[in-house]
Structure 1
Amino acid sequence: MAAYDLYGVKDLSVSAASLSVEESLKLSFERRESSYHGGEYYFSGNKESEHFTLKNNVDPFDGEAVEHEFPEYPILLYVDMTDRAEEVKGKLAVEFHLLRHELLD
């Protein structure tokens, strides 16, 4: 079963958070720009399999939190289509807080 997880971090900028995730999970982020994602964001993987999106928790159109349930977390990390949710959680546990965990077939 693939997991779709959402993590939040409070005390890092999006660029500092990207370095932390890269080091913890041994992956490389690509820095991107998109108005849909609120400007600068980071992406790793491909949309057909496990992938990671790291971005600010700000909707560029209304200035509100993208994830309304978690406005206290300024940085969000989406871990999509992962088969290793527990491993990722263990490696990110120091700075990142698991906010949502969903399993899909």
Structure 2
Amino acid sequence: MGEQSMTKVFLLFGIDTASLDKANALVELLLRTKLEPRESSFHGGNYFATRGADGEQLLVKSNFDRHAGEWSEPQYLHAPFLLYVNATHRAAEIEGAIGNNAQISLLRRSTV
């Protein structure tokens, strides 16, 4: 059953890799997309992101902000890195591409 065209889905995945660069490389491989390196204190320093024409955003960042000394998602301390998929209309496609990869797990899914 497909998602309605007006429905936007927000996904959060935990990524278990040795570094932010490796987390990003894994996301790029699985989703067949390129994320650009960026830096912002709001996202805890270095991160990777891309935004689609339809408003979809993919963002890979560290779960722990070393500068602020706090976790972005404290309920998921087991996930050193995070993939946010914001405002997507293709959640099923993304979840299918990630599949059963042992290094990435779905942590949260919400629909608006």
Q: TM-score, normalised by structure 2?
A: 0.84
- Residues 1:30 and 2:36 are matched in the alignment: yes
Cα displacement (A) at 1:11: 2.6
Q: For the aligned residues, what is the CA RMSD?
A: 1.7
Contact 2:45 / 2:65 at 8 angstroms: preserved in 1?
Answer: no
Q: CA 1:11–1:61 in structure 2 vs 1: closer, same or farther (change >3 Å)?
A: closer
Map 1:89-100 onto structure 2 (within 5 A).
Answer: 89-93=95-99, 94=101, 95-100=103-108
Residue among 13, 18, 31 paired with 2:19: 13
- Structure 1: where are the runs of 5+ without partners? none
Q: CA 1:47–1:4 in structure 2 vs 1: closer, same or farther (change >3 Å)?
A: farther
Identity rate of aligned residues, in percent? 35
Q: CA 1:12–1:91 in structure 2 vs 1: closer, same or farther (change >3 Å)?
A: farther
SS at match of 2:97: helix
Question: 1:47, 1:64 → 2: CA distance?
Answer: 32
Contact 2:59 / 2:84 at 8 angstroms: preserved in 1?
Answer: yes
- Residues 1:3 and 2:9 are matched in the alignment: yes
Greater fraction helix:
2
Bigger CA radius of gyration: 2
Q: Which runs of 4+ in 1 moved over 4 A?
A: none
Cα displacement (A) at 1:86: 1.4
Q: How many residues align?
A: 104
- Structure 2: where are the runs of 5+ without partners? 1-6
Amino acid at match of 1:67: E
Question: 2:50, 2:31 → 1: CA distance?
Answer: 11
- Residues 1:49 and 2:55 are matched in the alignment: yes
Q: TM-score, normalised by structure 1?
A: 0.89
